[in-house]
Structure 1
Amino acid sequence: MVMREVLESLKRRKLFACLIGFGLMVFFFAVTVLFQNYIHIEAKGGKVESFQGLSSYELGDTLFEDSDWKEYLNEPNALERVRRFYGYLEENLGEKYLHIHTQSIALSPGNVKWDEKLLHGHEDGDADKVKERSYYKEKEGPYYAFKAVQMNKQAFDSFTIDVSEGEALSPEDFDHNNNPGVIPVLLGSEYQSIYQVGDQLTAEYLFKDFQLEIKGFIPSNTFVSEIYLDRYIVIPAQQFDAPVDEEEWDFQRKHYFNLINGSIYSAEGKGVIVGKLEKIKTKSDFPHIMILGVDDSPLENLFAAIQTHIQWVMILAGVLFVGCILSISILMMTKIQDNYKNMSIHLISGATMNQLLRYVLAEVLVLVSIPALLMILLYMGSFSFVPPLYLLLMVMCIFILTLLSAAPIYLQFRKLPISRLLKRAE
């Protein structure tokens, strides 16, 4: 009986019902967007949570002058010593050593349609200059400088880079001897419409030819140390066997000197880190390294941005929530005033005020529930997985919206002049 009355009321005031329904759809859409935003923020916070309370010790080699560089390279086993030092950094330091180095990589994109925003220097307005510096090599090319970031194994493990398609990098992908001449890579999300998993790209890294094999694509908005990877080629730092010729030797000395310029993350004081560093310098016979600086709050800007973002999400949700409650209450109370005649007929027919109140509250519940259910169905169609937390959030929104919207309606009902309503029906 009540539901039939509610449906008839909604049909009589279609425009009124549509306006409230549209406002609620906007509200529930905003709640859904805010929920997804909050999930993303929480995931971002989880990835950097392990860095809280750690200090960052930036490392750099001490071969500042060309003469120092040439002198060291003329020493016996120069390359082997720096290779050994990098191995100790990765495996024997006892602290978290991260090498995350943004750079460009010369890439021949092939016969595909690509966007210049993928080029190194695009954000600085230098994309046109980069395109002008393209070059051909032995009838191959043109080669362009694309954005890339090289990361060692500990960096991948610390930030847990997932894939939306394909496979994540495995420990074997950091050892170049498993597939000589080929470097497995992950591509940012903006490459997903250009290439496919398994494609091989012709590239040149430190003036040496390689094939980049696409293992997978990274979800959008994935970040590493404040670097969003959507437009980047992510390269695992390769480990090579001893060089067999002069050309390979020249390549590896540049490669390994690049890898030792990273950062140590630790909760220990500087004295402890200096002591550990001196031990591996002695073991590897590579004294040409030093701590360039100490940051007691690495990723501080990112932590602050996450907290600020969460606060604004909560404020926006609160404003939308209050606005929606006020809108429903005002519109329903206006409708009650406009429906005095119908209410009078119900009263003269034997209905009670409590029955009329239940009828109005049922109408509020229906008005709130239908947009919410539509939004849940839309969410289910857009995402493969619907978190139980999202369903709980929507049910709570329905309940609280209905409850708070009903409060002023209930107060208005208590003030309704029953005798005047009955006179209207006579």
Structure 2
Amino acid sequence: MKASSLLRSTYGRSVAKTFVLAFLMTSIYNVMSFSTSTQAAISRSFDESAKVDMYSLTDRLTDPALFEGYRRNLANIEKVTRFYDYLEQNAPDGVQLLSAFDQAMPVADFAGGETFEHGYGTGARTQGPYEDPILGKSVVNVKSMQLSRSTFDFYNLAEQDGTELDWDGVNYDGASIPVLLGDNYKSVYAVGDQLTVDYYSKPTQMRVSGFLPPSASMFYQENLNFFLDDYLVVPYPKSITGMATAHQDFYGILAFAMLNANIAVDQAQPSGAVFRALESAATSSQFDHYALLSVPGYLTQFASVRALVQENFALVVTIEILVAAAAVVVSAVLTSSAIRRRERRIRVAWQLGESRSDLLRAMLAIVAVEYAALTVAFLTITQLLPNHDSSALRLCLGFIALFSAAEMLHRRSWLQHDIQYHPRSEL
């Protein structure tokens, strides 16, 4: 008996079954590839040997006119400071904001040499002494690093001789700001010395509180060992929310400097933890002009979507199970309907002398044709998809092979059962 005659009578059902199973396999493939490819993409963006995943946070106000207009609005400055405060004080365990900003700091009547000047050792020319219009004095732009207490502690920075910086006493509206100096400054200044600086166009007094140990370093701008021996280290206050009223220009610039930070995430945390923290901070502060520069823009959005999927992972799995169950039921109904339609033809062929092996080959050939068509349809669809995952593809092809083998065994069992209860002698 030819398989083509059996298949012709149930052609519509076979085509429908192929499309249903192709839809099922594609849905499984998409769920698996979405999960695995996103995690792999994020993992490639960070050093696997590091103890934490490091992200770089900044604002998206790259247009100078847009930035200037935004920071001129007091309400906008408060949004930025509240965004910073949320990440600094309310971030979940395993997610830590590390705020640090390297810049030139004009210091009046500077007592040090050229090695302390901003740009020295980088190939750039140093500016040397010049007249500062804000201070009305001769100043030198020195290397400075502004950072938060979280950053200071994270990189295990410490003062020499057991002295401790009074972080709780850091008040930018007070008489002076306690600062630390790199080890190379020990021959230039002493603890208690006062420095007059132009801090974002605001005349400011800074008091030397102590010195960093030799070769103190931190991770900064992709440099794992950014040494601070020649640096003026300026501590950030815990918060500047509500302080911009008196000095809006100063705090407007400072707020965005503090926002330029790294975010350290424990590797034990799910990849979406940092995105959920940022979304919560944005919702709380109404500031959403942020970006993660260490991660490409498309990956930021991609991972944000994946973080949302992970939050509702149980729902996604449940939906996929329901889709799979519905597809299996529909496929079973179509298969059962096709078998019943072929049943009389098979029995007639059996009574007319067709051998059991010929009938079995015909039935198994139909199954082989159906699942071959399913494989071709599935592979064609996956090639057209933007996401490609070889592991998910192999697993889905394994499912197809398993379904094919199971249906072949079922057809063989059905034929043996039907022949046993309908012997040729009954006709």
* Aligned counterpart for 1:172 among listed residues 168, 187, 211: 168
* CA deviation map 1:38-79 (0-9, x unaligned): xxxxxxxxxxxxx93311111111112234325534667111
Which 4+ residue blocks in structure 1 deviate beyond 6 angstroms? none
Please name the residue that 1:254 is paired with: 253
1:54–1:125: structure 2 CA closer, same or farther, 3 Å change rule?
Answer: closer
Return the offset for 1:241. 5.9
Contact kept in structure 2, 1:166 and 1:217, CA below 8 Å: no
Please name the residue that 1:289 is paired with: 290
Matched letter for residue 159 of structure 1:
Y
Contact kept in structure 2, 1:200 and 1:212, CA below 8 Å: yes
1:264–1:138: structure 2 CA closer, same or farther, 3 Å change rule?
Answer: closer
* CA deviation map 1:153-207 (0-9, x unaligned): 1101112222224722133144435xx1411111111111111110111111111
* Aligned counterpart for 2:154 among listed residues 142, 155, 158: 158
Q: Does the residue aligned with 1:168 lie in a helix, a strand or coil?
A: coil
Contact kept in structure 2, 1:161 and 1:168, CA below 8 Å: no
Q: How does 1:312-323 map to 2 (within 5 A)?
A: none
1:89–1:175: structure 2 CA closer, same or farther, 3 Å change rule?
Answer: farther
Please name the residue that 2:391 is paired with: none
Q: Does the residue aligned with 1:60 lie in a helix, a strand or coil?
A: strand
Please name the residue that 1:130 is paired with: 127
> Where in structure 2 are there 5+ consecutive unaligned residues?
1-48, 220-224, 297-427
RMSD: 2.5
Q: How does 1:63-212 map to 2 (within 5 A)?
A: 63-73=61-71, 77-94=75-92, 95-110=95-110, 112=111, 114-127=112-125, 129-131=126-128, 134-137=130-133, 140-165=136-161, 167-176=163-172, 180-212=174-206
| Whole-Å separation in 1 of the counterparts to 2:72 and 2:144 | 31
Are positions 1:61 and 2:55 aligned together?
no
Contact kept in structure 2, 1:173 and 1:236, CA below 8 Å: no
Contact kept in structure 1, 2:74 and 2:248, CA below 8 Å: no
| Whole-Å separation in 2 of the counterparts to 1:187 and 1:270 | 37
Contact kept in structure 1, 2:135 and 2:198, CA below 8 Å: no
| Whole-Å separation in 1 of the counterparts to 2:160 and 2:73 | 47
1:289–1:280: structure 2 CA closer, same or farther, 3 Å change rule?
Answer: same
Q: Does the residue aligned with 1:169 lie in a helix, a strand or coil?
A: coil
| Whole-Å separation in 1 of the counterparts to 2:212 and 2:133 | 30
Return the offset for 1:117. 0.4
1:71–1:219: structure 2 CA closer, same or farther, 3 Å change rule?
Answer: closer
| Whole-Å separation in 2 of the counterparts to 1:138 and 1:66 | 22
Q: How does 1:188-337 map to 2 (within 5 A)?
A: 188-225=182-219, 226-238=225-237, 239-240=239-240, 242-243=242-243, 248-266=247-265, 267=267, 268-294=269-295
Instruction: Compute the TM-score of the two structures, normalised by the length of structure 2.
Output: 0.51
Q: Does the residue aligned with 1:176 lie in a helix, a strand or coil?
A: coil
Return the offset for 1:263. 1.2
Please name the residue that 1:380 is paired with: none
| Whole-Å separation in 1 of the counterparts to 2:52 and 2:271 | 11
* CA deviation map 1:255-301 (0-9, x unaligned): 01111111111123442221221011001111111222249xxxxxx
Contact kept in structure 2, 1:56 and 1:294, CA below 8 Å: no
Contact kept in structure 1, 2:159 and 2:211, CA below 8 Å: yes
Contact kept in structure 2, 1:188 and 1:230, CA below 8 Å: yes
1:120–1:96: structure 2 CA closer, same or farther, 3 Å change rule?
Answer: same
Matched letter for residue 204 of structure 1:
D
Q: Does the residue aligned with 2:272 lie in a helix, a strand or coil?
A: helix
Q: Does the residue aligned with 1:82 lie in a helix, a strand or coil?
A: helix
Matched letter for residue 255 of structure 2:
Y
Return the offset for 1:135. 1.5
Matched letter for residue 107 of structure 2:
L
Matched letter for residue 101 of structure 2:
H
Matched letter for residue 65 of structure 1:
D
| Whole-Å separation in 1 of the counterparts to 2:99 and 2:56 | 10
Contact kept in structure 1, 2:134 and 2:201, CA below 8 Å: no
| Whole-Å separation in 2 of the counterparts to 1:254 and 1:139 | 18
Contact kept in structure 2, 1:55 and 1:294, CA below 8 Å: no
Please name the residue that 2:12 is paired with: none
Contact kept in structure 1, 2:217 and 2:228, CA below 8 Å: yes
Q: Aligned pair count?
A: 238
* CA deviation map 1:80-123 (0-9, x unaligned): 1111111111101121110122111000135x4x2110101110
Contact kept in structure 1, 2:72 and 2:252, CA below 8 Å: no
| Whole-Å separation in 1 of the counterparts to 2:72 and 2:188 | 45
What percent identity do the matched residue pairs reach?
28
* CA deviation map 1:3-62 (0-9, x unaligned): xxxxxxxxxxxxxxxxxxxxxxxxxxxxxxxxxxxxxxxxxxxxxxxx933111111111
Contact kept in structure 1, 2:81 and 2:241, CA below 8 Å: no
Contact kept in structure 2, 1:166 and 1:197, CA below 8 Å: no
Instruction: Compute the TM-score of the two structures, normalised by the length of structure 1.
Output: 0.52
Contact kept in structure 1, 2:78 and 2:241, CA below 8 Å: no
